[in-house]
A and B are shown apart, each in its own frame.
Chain A
């Protein structure tokens, strides 16, 4: 099973700044996803990180606010730009190893607080 490392695990940031979250997987994976989990809520899919091309964003999420990179099959970053207190959430990275496997693996998440 894939092991996911997310950094940082938590951060407190000033409004108006940006934070980049890293997701490192211990093996090559086909698909990588980014989720947001607001306090007391379920997970909301932000985007699918595509290797070597622009991420595919879900409705309500835009590249200017959440730029995503995926330079290879084991690494991705999510940036939360121009932060406001409403961006305070847990951000999670998720992977699917290959298209024949149905199980998704999740990182422990990055707990972001914007003040």
Chain B
């Protein structure tokens, strides 16, 4: 499975945008890029996913590099509720529907 690399931790001030990077230089053409987050004492929850084009939803935006070797999760306005571990995951629907988690980025939001 293609691996992802994320910074271990990041900090953001409340109400400011946050850009969470992810490197996936060995991504294959059929890998989807998924982002999940895990709030304290909870199971992971879906944030967003994409294949090639940038994606927006009510929670966040996903910016995918043209060569697809990196992506950035954008939280437009961080709130204290956004403090969580954010996981960038590559998922190949052709080989199975499993999600293999990397180490993730622990986001701290400063009031």
Contacts and interface: CB of A to CB of B under 8 A. Distances in A.
B97 A44 contact: no
Interface string B36-60: 1000001111100100000000000
A113 interface: no
Interface of B: 32, 34, 36, 42-46, 49, 85, 87, 91, 93, 96-104
Given A92-B43, A109-B43, A104 B99 contact: yes
Q: Is the interface of B mostly helix, strand, loop or mixed?
A: loop
17 contacts: A33-B98, A42-B101, A42-B102, A43-B44, A45-B99, A45-B101, A48-B96, A94-B43, A94-B99, A99-B97, A102-B32, A102-B49, A104-B36, A104-B46, A106-B45, A108-B42, A108-B43
Contacts of B32: 102
Contacts of A31: 97
Interface residues of A, number: 22
Nearest to A30: B97
Nearest to A101: B97
A99 B96 CA distance: 9
Nearest to B42: A108
Contacts, number: 50
A71 B101 CA distance: 27
A44 B101 contact: yes
A60 to B, nearest CB: 13
Interface string A13-50: 00000000000000000110101000000111100100
Contacts of A109: 42-43
B30 to A, nearest CB: 13
Given A102-B49, A104-B99, A42 B104 contact: yes
B32 to A, nearest CB: 6
Given A45-B98, A45-B99, A48-B98, A102 B91 contact: yes
